[in-house]
Amino acid sequence: MAIATTVKPVVIIDGLSSSGSSSVANRVAETLDLERFSGGQLYRQLCSEKGFCPKDRNAPDFEEKFVIFAREIIPKHPEFDSTIDNKFLDLVRNATKPLLAEGRVTAALVTKYNIPVIVKVWITASLAERVKRYKLKHANTGAGQYTDEQLTKIISQKDQLDRERYLRIYNVDIFKPELYNDIVLDTTGQTLDQSYYQLINDPIFREKIKKLFDFYPDYGTSIVRWKCLECGYVYEGFVPIHMCPRCGNIDPDKFADLAQ
């Protein structure tokens, strides 16, 4: 099945829950001024609309309710996945600027509907790292009160349920992301800055992201070339950086602009 051939290509950044995919996707979308699609945000909205989660996203028990919704309710309602798919397709059809999509299997979704793609990235992290990040993010909510053992069990079960569901719906195995993504990025033990800079310095990402300028010529094609005066690292690309990927230097006075 295909949608209109006039749609612009999308950038895909997928990953499992608490892998860092949403944070990395937000940073890339902000830097490149891309329109943003988040499958996780839409599922949370759907949870509230269906009455399984509070209307207030800041409610203390929201994430706790959403965990139950994702683990027990969604697998029983395939129409929920169809609802999210349709919202994504509408956004693709009506996009006026480049779109970055993030979720679990948007890479499979664009393949299913023959949507052109700039680059497909999968963000991963160890289970222990994902548990730690989840607890940190939801420390002030009911979901943040789970023990490490409880969260390990919950996340593992949800991963398996997601795997079975997406195999059935899209015929993709989220446990084998290297089969349908251009880049698989392991963020275990990394800060957001480290993960972000690792991605934008990836040679495959840097080469493929150039295709943005073929479809959006008003973006320009100026190259950023900076040298870190602390360690000598030279960065070249389209995305400005504010921290040296090699030594962590963040002092703006210790970078030399080589493009001038």
**Does the structure show a pLDDT above 90 at 15?**
yes
% residues pLDDT > 90 (the chain): 25
- State residue 236's pLDDT score: 72
**Does the structure show a pLDDT above 70 at 143?**
no
Residues 257 and 188: their CA atoms lie apart, in Å, by: 31
- State residue 242's pLDDT score: 74
Q: What is the pTM of this model?
A: 0.79
Residue 228 tokens, joined: 């870190």
Considering only residues 222 and 46, tell me which one the structure prediction assigns the higher pLDDT. 46
**Does the structure show a pLDDT above 70 at 20?**
yes
Residues 239 and 200: their CA atoms lie apart, in Å, by: 7
- State residue 11's pLDDT score: 93
Alpha carbon 19 to chain centroid distance? 9
Sorted by where each starts, the structural domains of the chain and their CATH numbers stand as: 10-221 (3.40.50.300), 222-260 (2.20.28.10)
Quickly tell me which residue has 């993010």 as its tokens.
Answer: 137
Among the listed residues 104, 141, 128, 112, the one whose alpha carbon sits nearest the alpha carbon of residue 22: 104
Q: What is the pLDDT of residues 69-95, one digit of tens each?
A: 888 888 888 888 888 888 888 888 887
- State residue 24's pLDDT score: 94
